[in-house]
């Protein structure tokens, strides 16, 4: 493992990732600034988030609700935007409804109904992406593509929620062309749902991470979720 002194600072790593995004936008003929960066801060301490915020990063993604809520409360004065991107259990829905701005991993109607009831009336609607399992990975959460339209119609008018788009996580393919193909299939589904739903705020296609963000942007992603390339390798409890 490299010595911590040899690793780039979070600010420097953020600058590198932003440059990768800008280069990928240009290569794909996309407008500059058309792809948002979500910094995935799961397992990293509040100090790391604060350092990224000082470098201009506003939006952060978290998988583990209890860990995230502690950071959200500790950093409340910074005015950050928090996205829940991990699978959500029913018993944790109230915390997400209360503390987060976005949920990107919705794939269950009962969870959507709970979130709708639990979103405080003084808050803006919880922004929602449906998680789709485009390539049928058995260990992944997400709706099958053929379920997505019916599900979207079932939740589109729930109070306290605003449906914004799709999130996907392809299987880890060795061949980049396979990854690109899955991203393109997700973009096609995103466009198909957008045409059918006719929602003015249907504008977010969250796909691409540290290892494949260029492929995702080439396929049409509007938000990439990057953790390792910003914060370094994660250490999980044994």
- The answer to whether residue 237 is domain-embedded is no
Q: Mean pLDDT, the chain, as a whole number?
A: 94
Q: What is the pTM of this model?
A: 0.94
- The answer to whether residue 174 is domain-embedded is yes
pLDDT in tens, 36-69: 999 999 999 999 999 999 999 999 999 999 999 9
| Number of domains within the chain | 1
Assigned token pair, 143: 């709706």
Assigned token pair, 96: 């997400």
- The answer to whether residue 236 is domain-embedded is no
pLDDT of 173: 93
- The answer to whether residue 51 is domain-embedded is yes
Q: How far apart are CA 141 and CA 132, in angstroms?
A: 8
* CA 86 to the chain's CA centroid: 9
**Secondary structure (H, E, C), the chain:** CCCHHHCCCHHHHHHHHHHHHHHHHHHCCCCCCCCEEEEECCCCCHHHHHHHHHCCCCEEEECCHHHHHHHHHHCHHHCCEEEECCCCCHHHHHHHHHHCCEEEEECCHHHHHHHHHHCCCCCCCEEEEEEECCCCCCCCCCECHHHHHHHHHHHCCCCCEEEEEEEECCCCCCCHHHHHHHHHHHHHHHHHHHHHHCCCCCCEEECCCCCCHHHHHHHCCCEEEECHHHHCCCCCCC
pLDDT band at 108 (very low <50, low <70, confident <90, very high): very high
- The answer to whether residue 80 is domain-embedded is yes
Range of the domain at 202: 4-231
pLDDT band at 1 (very low <50, low <70, confident <90, very high): very low
- The answer to whether residue 238 is domain-embedded is no
pLDDT of 202 above 80: yes
CATH number at residue 104: 3.20.20.10
pLDDT of 7: 55
pLDDT in tens, 135-176: 987 778 999 999 999 999 999 999 999 999 999 999 999 999
């Amino acid at each position: 493992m490299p010595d911590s002194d040899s690793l780039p600072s979070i600010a420097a790593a953020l600058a590198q990732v932003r440059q990768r995004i800008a280069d990928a936008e240009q290569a794909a003929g996309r407008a500059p600034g058309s792809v948002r960066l979500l910094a995935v801060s799961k397992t990293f301490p509040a100090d790391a988030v604060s350092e990224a915020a000082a470098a201009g990063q506003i939006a952060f993604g978290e998988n583990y609700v209890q860990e995230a809520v502690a950071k959200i409360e500790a950093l409340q004065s910074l005015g950050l935007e928090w996205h829940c991107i991990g699978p959500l259990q029913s018993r944790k829905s109230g915390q997400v409804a209360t503390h987060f701005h976005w949920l990107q991993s919705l794939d269950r109607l009962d969870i959507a109904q709970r979130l709708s009831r639990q979103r405080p009336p003084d808050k803006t609607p919880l922004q929602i992406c449906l998680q789709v399992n485009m390539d049928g990975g058995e260990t992944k959460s997400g709706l099958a593509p053929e379920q997505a339209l019916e599900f979207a119609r079932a939740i589109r008018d729930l109070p306290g929620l605003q449906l914004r788009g799709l999130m996907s996580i392809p299987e880890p393919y060795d061949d980049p062309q396979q990854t690109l193909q899955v991203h393109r299939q997700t973009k096609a589904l995103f466009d198909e749902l957008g045409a059918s739903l006719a929602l003015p705020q249907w504008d977010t296609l969250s796909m691409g991470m540290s290892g494949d963000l260029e492929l995702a942007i080439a396929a049409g992603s509007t938000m990439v979720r990057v953790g390792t390339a910003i914060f370094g390798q994660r250490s999980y409890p044994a």
